[in-house]
């Protein structure tokens, strides 16, 4: 595990790092879970270009969440489209920030000129009601070229160093990656590096015991 004053990098799958929520003294300070990745296009041959193979790599951020009252659900970019997801105060497939589940995906708005990736934000006022989250990303369309994405999930809480989980130079052909698990308590977040690959949401569900029913989605 690499540590400096601004950032903690969890380097090995199964390793953990903690965030002290008592240092987050501002009630308005959001807990930010950010996914960022390389914008560059994968290197393709001339014939691959003719077949439409030069599309930019586009990842989608999502999470499984479980509340202490037993509620379980999923939030991700395949559940909604930008401009269609509602506001922070409306409970939609995008989540809700101002009330339960206190978790909100800010939008599937990654474009060629973007640079900040996608965010899921957690309202600190609702932390006591959240039990756990599994943070994942997936490639909705196209071939799994993980090594070319340099995907990184960063958890940011005011008053603490950022916690960073890098996917690394992965070569798995499956298009769904569970990156990290977050366990919540009123005073602490524990972040564990996963980086496990799956064929779909349902396969990840089975591995991490979420117990949900699945149907094909679109965006």
d(Cα 185, Cα 170) in Å, to the nearest integer?
32
The three-point CA angle 18-37-145 to 5° equals 115
Write down the pLDDT at residue 114.
52
The three-point CA angle 130-136-140 to 5° equals 135
pLDDT of 36 > 50? The answer is yes
Best CA proximity match to 30, nearest among 136, 83, 93, 106: 106
113 vs 5: which has the higher pLDDT: 5
pTM of structure = 0.85
Return the structure tokens found at 10: 């969890």
The mean pLDDT of 136-159, rounded to a whole number, is 88
Per-residue pLDDT reduced to its tens digit, 165-178: 999 889 999 999 99
Return the structure tokens found at 134: 């599994």
d(Cα 4, Cα 164) in Å, to the nearest integer?
11
Contacts of residue 74, defined as CB under 8 A and 6 or more positions apart, other chains included, come to 62, 63, 64, 65, 201, 212
Neighbouring CB atoms inside 10 A of 85's CB total 21
The mean pLDDT of 72-98, rounded to a whole number, is 73
Contact 176, 201 (CB under 8 A): yes
d(Cα 7, Cα 126) in Å, to the nearest integer?
25
d(Cα 6, Cα 41) in Å, to the nearest integer?
30
- Please state, rounded to an integer, the average pLDDT across all residues of the chain: 83
Contacts of residue 28, defined as CB under 8 A and 6 or more positions apart, other chains included, come to none
* % of the chain at pLDDT higher than 70: 77
Return the structure tokens found at 191: 């972040």
All structural domains of the chain, each given as residue ranges with its CATH number in brackets, are 2-39+54-207 (2.60.60.30)
Q: How close are the terminal C-alpha atoms of the chain, in Å?
A: 37
Write down the pLDDT at residue 140.
77
Per this entry, what is the length of the chain? 219
């Amino acid at each position: 595990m690499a540590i400096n004053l601004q950032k903690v990098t969890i380097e090995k799958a199964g390793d953990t790092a903690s965030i002290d929520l008592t240092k987050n003294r501002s009630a308005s300070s959001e807990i930010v879970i950010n996914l960022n990745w390389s914008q560059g296009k994968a290197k393709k041959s001339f014939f691959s270009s003719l077949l439409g193979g030069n599309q930019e790599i586009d990842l989608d951020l999502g999470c499984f969440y479980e509340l202490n009252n037993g509620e379980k659900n999923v939030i991700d970019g395949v559940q909604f489209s930008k401009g269609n997801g509602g506001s922070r105060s409306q409970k939609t497939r995008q989540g809700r920030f101002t009330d339960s589940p206190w978790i909100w995906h800010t939008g599937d708005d990654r474009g060629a000129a973007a640079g900040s990736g996608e965010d899921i934000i957690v309202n600190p006022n609702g932390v006591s009601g959240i039990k756990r989250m599994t943070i994942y990303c997936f490639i909705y369309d196209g071939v799994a070229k993980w090594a070319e994405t340099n995907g990184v999930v960063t958890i940011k809480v005011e008053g603490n160093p950022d916690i960073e989980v890098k996917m690394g130079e992965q070569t798995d052909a499956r298009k769904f990656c569970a990156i990290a698990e977050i366990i919540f308590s009123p005073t602490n977040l524990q972040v564990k590096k996963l980086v496990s690959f799956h064929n779909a949401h349902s396969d990840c569900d089975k591995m991490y015991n979420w117990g949900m029913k699945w149907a094909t989605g679109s965006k």
